[in-house]
Amino acid sequence: MRKLLRSILIVSVLSVCLVPLLVYQGSCQDLPKIEVLFSPEQGQEILQRLKDTIQNAEGRVYILIYSFTLDELAQTIIEKHREGLDIKVIMDKGQAGSKVTENLRQTEIPLVLKAGSKGGYMHIKALIADDTVLTGSYNYSKNATYRSDENFLIIRDKDIVEAHLAKFNQLWGEELPAVSPEIKKKQERAPPEITVYITKTGKKYHRLGCRYLRKSCIPISLTEAKRRGYTPCKVCKPPS
């Protein structure tokens, strides 16, 4: 009888210990994937990760940044914009006279300069690229890269991406992009752009909710999808 009671006790203890562990392991795949870097010791790596992320983006790059003075990063953005990538930038209004701001304007990259929502600074530092957010205290400057102590997070998580995207769209909608009157007229005459979705593999574009978007879902304009040679999915039948 004692042996039986002892066996039952051992099984009970193991159940209490192992079940939470199994539940935790089952949810690990849902946890955000996060990398953390620090400048100045990893400043050059941070800059390179930013450039690589922009160069490898397939659907969009949306940027919220307080201070932006790194010419080489601006050039990466300009080159990707010329390839047709959907790029938008929001900077603090204090950057109005900077060289980078002028270069972005001249290449017709949609750009908003604004104060914070309550009259302070637009102090967010975040880059949203497809399914990744790069954020932290790091500004896009030589000082942040090589001198100041800054943190920099690379986050791959759908909910965190969507939260940053919602904030970007809120700030973007509060003001018109800082573009020339000629470009503004052109934009006003253009019909509303249709958004479709592509995957990291394959050459079809889809409607949101298509079963083929389970593993990756990258928004892209219909015009850009066609320009890149994507064709409509025969299952979800997106606009063509």
What are the CA-CA distances from residue 82 to residues 85, 109, 145 (Å)?
7, 9, 26
pLDDT exceeds cutoff 50 at 138: yes
What are the CA-CA distances from residue 48 to residues 63, 109, 132, 155 (Å)?
16, 21, 15, 16
Q: Is residue 88 very low, low, confident or very high in pLDDT (cuts 50, 70, 90)?
A: very high
Query: Do residues 163 and 228 share a domain?
Result: no
Q: Average the pLDDT over 56-70 and give the result.
A: 95
What is the structure's pLDDT at 4? 54
Quote the number of domains for the chain.
Answer: 2
Query: Do residues 202 and 163 share a domain?
Result: no
65 falls within a domain: yes
220 falls within a domain: yes
Taking only the tens place, the pLDDT of each residue in 106-116 is 989 999 988 87
Residue 203 structural domain: 195-232
What is the structure's pLDDT at 184? 54
Query: Do residues 102 and 213 share a domain?
Result: no
Taking only the tens place, the pLDDT of each residue in 190-205 is 566 788 889 988 899 9
Query: Do residues 125 and 152 share a domain?
Result: yes
Query: Do residues 206 and 114 share a domain?
Result: no
User: Alpha helix locations (H) across 63-200?
Assistant: 71-82, 99-106, 142-146, 158-174, 181-189
Query: Do residues 109 and 206 share a domain?
Result: no
Instruction: Lowest mean pLDDT of 121-130, 167-176, 217-226, name the range.
Output: 167-176
208 falls within a domain: yes
Look up the pTM and report it: 0.64
Beta carbons within 10 angstroms of residue 84's beta carbon: 13
Identify whether the C-beta of residue 32 lies closer than 8 Å to the C-beta of residue 161. no
Instruction: Lowest mean pLDDT of 79-83, 88-92, 97-101, 162-166, name the range.
Output: 97-101
Query: Do residues 160 and 213 share a domain?
Result: no
Which residue in the block uniquely carries the two structure tokens 């690229």? 129
